[in-house]
Amino acid sequence: MASSPPKKTLNSQSSSLNRPPPAVKFGRRTSSGRTVSLSRDDDLDVPGDSSSQTDYINYTVHMPPTPDNQPAGSSGSTSGPRNKMERRLSVMKSNNKSMLLRSQTGDFDHNRWLFESKGKYGIGNAYWSEEDENYDGGVSMSDFFDKPWKPLTRKVHIPAKVLSPYRLLIVCRLVVLFFFLWWRIANPNEDAMWLWGLSIVCELWFAFSWILDILPKLNPINRATDLDALRDKFEQPSPSNPTGRSDLPGVDVFVSTADPDKEPPLVTANTLLSILAVDYPIEKLSAYISDDGGAILTFEAMAEAVRFAEYWVPFCRKHDIEPRNPDSYFNLKTDPTKNKKRHDFVKDRRWVKREYDEFKVRINGLPEQIKKRADQFNMREELKEKRIAKEKNGGVLPPDGVEVVKATWMADGTHWPGTWFDPKPDHSKKDHAGILQIMSKVPELEPVMGGPNEGALDFTGIDIRVPMFAYVSREKRPGFDHNKKAGAMNGMVRASAILSNGAFILNLDCDHYIYNSKAIKEGMCFMMDRGGDRICYIQFPQRFEGVDPSDRYANHNTVFFDGNMRALDGLQGPVYVGTGCMFRRYALYGFNPPRANEYSGVFGQDKAPAMYARTQSGASQNSQTSDIESDTQPLTDDPDLGLPKKFGNSTVFTDTIPVAEYQGRPLADHMSVKNGRPPGALLLPRPPLDAPTVAEAIAVISCWYEDNTEWGDRIGWIYGSVTEDVVTGYRMHNRGWRSVYCITKRDAFRGTAPINLTDRLHQVLRWATGSVEIFFSKNNAIFATRRLKFLQRVAYLNVGIYPFTSIFLVVYCFLPALCLFSGKFIVQSLDIHFLSYLLCITITLTLISLLEVKWSGIGLEEWWRNEQFWLIGGTSAHLAAVVQGFLKVIAGIEISFTLTSKSAGEDEDDVFADLYLVKWTGLFIMPLTIIVVNLVAIVIGASRTIYSVIPQWNKLLGGTFFSMWVLTHMYPFAKGLMGRRGKVPTIVYVWSGLVSITVSLLWITISPPDDATGAGGISV
């Protein structure tokens, strides 16, 4: 546009009218966020020199005549100064705020604008009129400002003032460790080479183990979700969704249980109620419970829970109840009326509380009721058989009597198809038919509003629908390997695919309930955000209730859940820990992600887009191209990267796979969203369930369905390990998928943890044994593909290696005692070099721990409890796991575990009664031996030093210091053995005495007293 040179004063009004209006006025953004005009024309009165920095202190911003800042009915022509001024003022009068107003009022977020437009010129910078030849009719300024695209999640990085010193200290400690180990190797203890050699081997392994643990923690991050943006995008009226019906994908919630004696049905029922009352579109939610024991007690308890849910679920929606587990809610110590606005809340709560108390009575009375009913029906059957026998035998009973099977009966007078109280063939835990019962039907698409009298409650204007719920118990027969929990989960995956086919699956243990009713929506923010199609699962942290206030045995495990898992989220994602995890169904089926990267180089520093393995059909169509690509695609030979083929012979199931994949895609509402679906694609209702559909669902949970398939190998939960959760997550990461760690402000889920020492050690034993199995299997991270990031590979490698630290830890715990017994030490003398290295290592470790506490948010007491239990578990459960792992690998001895009972102790009035129960187990032997040996060694070492002619006080102090270090870590174990009020079991006294006597006699035999020797066997 040609124009005269800019002038410093205003021209006459006529000259201003004759000049055509400017098309665009350009500007720049200052540090304060304001927009400064850079267009120099006659309308600006710029005093002073043009190069002065104060040119634009008093400035005027001119907006071009665009459709979004023009008054209705006005034309684009300028007929006079009044129209020109009105046009300028229309910026303030318009309903659509202009860029100027958004900038000056703070509504305009420049960072968000850069994110939304990716800094592309044209959108948000300038507006082209429709007459312009470069005009793109698909995007306009009004569209951009009226409905801006918002991200559903964002990363919250750890402050550099915390993370930078943390990384620096890690590097410093690595350097100090290197020089310390070098000095230790270069300066052997000639007087006690065996002590020196043992200590060197242990210290080298500890350094290696620490490196494996600390390296994945270099990049911890936090994440935040935007539930308001999720609601605006999926649950508000729009051109593609005029009614504002939810466009969110379906979610299937899985709950697994196996034994009602060890997993009380009341706990499982409360978990189910929290699921049915969750804040998620009712028609998109389905709940499933897998009863792997086939117990009628669980079946009838779930039926009672569904009946109670007809009142509990609308009550939660009406009064916004949190948490929505009735047992936890009614046991809250806070004021229940806080933030409750409805006047009838107290009346409703009192009525529901009374109903819940009656519900608990019915649940607790079910065992006796079912047995009484079974006895009545069996007696009736026995009388019937006797009458028939008399009729056949001339009115006299046969000499051998009449045999009647003692069956377990349902309320409708039919045999229970699952496990009977008196197990019989076809009716035992490992031999029973498959059971599938839809206890709550598929809800209607439109809301069903309650009335003023819904069981003495006023639910007017409240949606009283309840999500669909199904009870599932897969078929079990002798001769089939049912693969424990993993097999049960895979059975639910297939059955749910036919019944509801939710694009996402949330799995919970029976004692983990939903504490935050919006937890599913929080996880959905990640799945539906840009790039969410690459996420295989969302892992939530585990939080526990009923743990003793001091957390004696580190049950909360906050160091792992708030430290390690948060750090893994900065890599490729956290590991799957068995519960509180929301899966993408398509990823569970063994498919590769839509996009992935390969990492090559020694440390995986070279990143490139992954080349996908070709299917057999594609290879047959173009075999020559396939052969050429196979030379450049080494990953195609990896069985973990091929496409799954063998899903079973159910065509109904296989037809659901592409549907689940499509429904799990994010909305294609932005140019940066890849692999998306159009808005409004999930508004149609689900088809109603009919008899053939339910029959097909029963067929896919039969025991023979998985024969000659890839279930458990590359599809679904992976078999072959007692920690199937870690292996399943590893397989997904190995294909290139990512996972996300979702820490919500209000805990998403809560559960229970074993606070008894024996139960806690057995839990740790199961985890450690699974890790040993992983180390000796093809799931070892050493054999991972190049789609696994280097540090993620290190983290998974540490998962398989950490139990082996127990071997060196046990040896190192005995070293102080050996030093005190022998009068020697691991070094020649406590010189300045050794003490300086030891001081530097201790200081750096302390500072690293403090900074880790800072960015993870854990407490110092929690960190110290974790350190104590690391030593307790390492010398007991981890060592036993290594032994069991070697037995399985060498001798083929299979490892089996039983469920930990969740019942309380004998004192029902004491919540922490289990804490004081002492149940002897073989896992106690090694820690108890370490404690007794170190105590005896301190006594013997002190006696020798005191009564020796030339006392070696420095060696006594060194040995005693390290012995006290061991005993301090063992304090919670010793306290657990004492029980309540010092009621120590007799076996503890017996074992302690035996160890003390044995150690003393061995030492006297090995090193008999000699009048001519002093301390340490030195001649005097």
Q: Which two tokens stand for residue 39?
A: 């267009």
The dihedral through the CA atoms of 122, 126, 129, 134 has a sign that is: negative
Q: Which of 933, 921, 889, 899 is nearest to 988 (CA)?
A: 921
Contacts of 813 by beta carbon, 8 Å cutoff, 6+ apart: 871, 875, 930, 934, 966
C-alpha to C-alpha distance for 246 and 233, rounded to whole angstroms: 9
C-alpha to C-alpha distance for 1017 and 1020, rounded to whole angstroms: 9
Residue type, 141: M
CA atoms within 13 A on the CB side of 901: 9
Contact 680, 247 (CB under 8 A): yes
Contact 559, 858 (CB under 8 A): yes
C-alpha to C-alpha distance for 794 and 215, rounded to whole angstroms: 8
CB burial readout 171-203, b (16+ within 10 A) else e: ebbeebbeebbeebeeeebebbeebbebbbebb
Is 292 catalytic? The answer is yes
Q: Which of 535, 538, 714, 530 is nearest to 613 (CA)?
A: 714
Contact 153, 185 (CB under 8 A): no
Q: Which of 340, 341, 354 is nearest to 312 (CA)?
A: 354
CA atoms within 13 A on the CB side of 835: 8
Q: Which two tokens stand for residue 45?
A: 């009165």
What is the DSSP secondary structure assignment for residue 576, as one 8-state letter? Answer: P
Contact 499, 687 (CB under 8 A): no
By CB atoms closer than 10 A (0-12, 13-18, 19+), residue 235 is middle
Catalytic pick from 292, 348, 431, 569? Answer: 292
Catalytic pick from 43, 247, 725, 759? Answer: 725
Contacts of 958 by beta carbon, 8 Å cutoff, 6+ apart: 819, 825, 830
C-alpha to C-alpha distance for 777 and 719, rounded to whole angstroms: 12
By CB atoms closer than 10 A (0-12, 13-18, 19+), residue 404 is middle
Q: What is the CA radius of gyration of the chain?
A: 36
C-alpha to C-alpha distance for 691 and 835, rounded to whole angstroms: 78
| Residue appearing with tokens 């289990």 | 914
Contact 463, 246 (CB under 8 A): no
Check whether the bond before 685 is cis (ω within 30° of 0).
Answer: no
Q: Which of 990, 984, 869 is nearest to 918 (CA)?
A: 984
φ, ψ of residue 704 in degrees (nearest 5):
-95, -5
| Residue appearing with tokens 């110590």 | 333
Q: Which two tokens stand for residue 701?
A: 């949970």
φ, ψ of residue 61 in degrees (nearest 5):
-100, 125
| Residue appearing with tokens 């060498």 | 890
Contact 774, 721 (CB under 8 A): yes
CB burial readout 152-165, b (16+ within 10 A) else e: bbeeeebeeeebeb
Q: Which two tokens stand for residue 225?
A: 């979700």
Is 228 catalytic? The answer is no
Full DSSP string of 874-924: HTTHHHHHHHHHHHHHHH-------PPP----S-TT-TTGGGG-----GGG
**Paired sense of beta strands 285-291 and 468-473, if any:** parallel
Q: Active-site residues: which are they?
A: 292, 725
